[in-house]
């Protein structure tokens, strides 16, 4: 079983490297439907998985100076309290695992649908519609919503984060958008993942098996991505995520 999970980690890492789509959107459904992992465990494990794997990319962006740390702080000012609130709600509801899985499946379905819309209809903002003060406040609010969504579903820190930054900061270069979103995703997924771990929602053996496969997969995928049409692959994955989203909800 560990070998199959490691191969799954490799395949997911390959897709992430090729398309840039966040691993949570692919990994969590794969764990739930492919291996029968409870949604609660799949989300918690994938959050820590994301925190570890995204760290590699942040070092590269930091060296290239393609991270806007002020925007990262604004997002985190909203997302970390949002993650804390989500974890508090989960811990205080005292739900049976089946009920908790149903709630997480619903959040997961919504997050997958939103991610698929971003991939299929990539947002473009050519004009700045907000004053600096309004944009700063909206960044914190957007971070709070992302914090809730990511903590409940493990999906959204990647594609949804970039979409939010694209709309709020239209003048920001693409490489800076990606680097900033990646830098923000690490503290968010780390806090959310550790919170799930403290509540018993992480499988460390599963996490280790996924990491062994995903790291070489991401490396190979990033090289293959230069030769494959990213627009086509993003649309194909977006369509699959839309179908998965409907399945999780209905």
- In this predicted structure, the answer to whether residue 42 has a pLDDT above a threshold of 80 is yes
Burial grade of 145 (CB within 10 A; 0-12, 13-18, 19 or more): middle
Q: What does the pLDDT read at residue 208? A: 93
Closest among 244, 238, 249 to 21, alpha carbons compared? 238
**Which pTM was predicted?**
0.87
Q: What does the pLDDT read at residue 227? A: 65
Q: Given pLDDT bands bounded at 50, 70 and 90, which one contains residue 235?
A: confident
- Would the CA dihedral through 35, 162, 198, 100 be positive or negative? negative
Q: What does the pLDDT read at residue 1? A: 58
Percentage of the chain lying above the pLDDT 90 cut = 36
Helix, strand or coil for residue 167?
helix
Rounded to 10°, the helix 97-120/39-64 angle is 40
Q: Given pLDDT bands bounded at 50, 70 and 90, which one contains residue 64?
A: confident
Q: What does the pLDDT read at residue 85? A: 96
Give pLDDT tens digits for 69-127.
999 999 999 999 999 999 999 998 877 778 888 888 888 888 888 888 887 877 766 67
Cα→Cα distances 3→7, 9, 13, 44, 68, Å = 6, 10, 15, 21, 39
Range of the domain at 95: 2-249
Domain count, the chain: 1
Q: What does the pLDDT read at residue 46? A: 93
């Amino acid at each position: 079983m560990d070998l199959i999970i490691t191969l799954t980690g490799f395949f997911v890492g390959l897709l992430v490297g090729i398309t840039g789509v966040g691993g949570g959107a692919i990994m969590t459904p794969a764990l739930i439907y492919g291996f029968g992992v409870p949604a609660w465990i799949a989300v918690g494990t994938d959050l820590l998985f994301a925190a570890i794997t995204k760290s590699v990319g942040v070092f590269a962006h930091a060296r290239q100076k393609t991270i806007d740390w002020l925007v990262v702080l604004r997002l985190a000012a909203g997302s970390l309290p949002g993650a804390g609130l989500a974890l508090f709600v989960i811990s205080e509801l005292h739900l049976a695992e089946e009920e908790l899985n149903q709630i997480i499946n619903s959040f997961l379905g919504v997050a997958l649908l939103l991610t698929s819309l971003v991939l299929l209809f990539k947002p473009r903002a050519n004009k700045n519609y907000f004053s600096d003060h309004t944009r700063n406040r909206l960044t914190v609010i957007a971070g709070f919503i992302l914090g809730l969504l990511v903590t409940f579903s493990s999906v959204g820190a990647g594609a949804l984060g970039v979409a939010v930054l694209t709309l709020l900061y239209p003048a920001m270069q693409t490489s800076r958008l990606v680097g900033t979103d990646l830098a923000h995703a690490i503290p968010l997924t780390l806090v959310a993942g550790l919170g799930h771990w403290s509540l018993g929602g992480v499988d460390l053996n599963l996490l280790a098996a996924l990491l062994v496969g995903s790291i070489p997969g991401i490396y190979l995928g990033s090289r293959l991505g230069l030769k494959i049409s990213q627009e086509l692959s993003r649309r194909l994955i977006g369509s699959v995520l839309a179908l998965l989203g409907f399945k999780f909800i209905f």
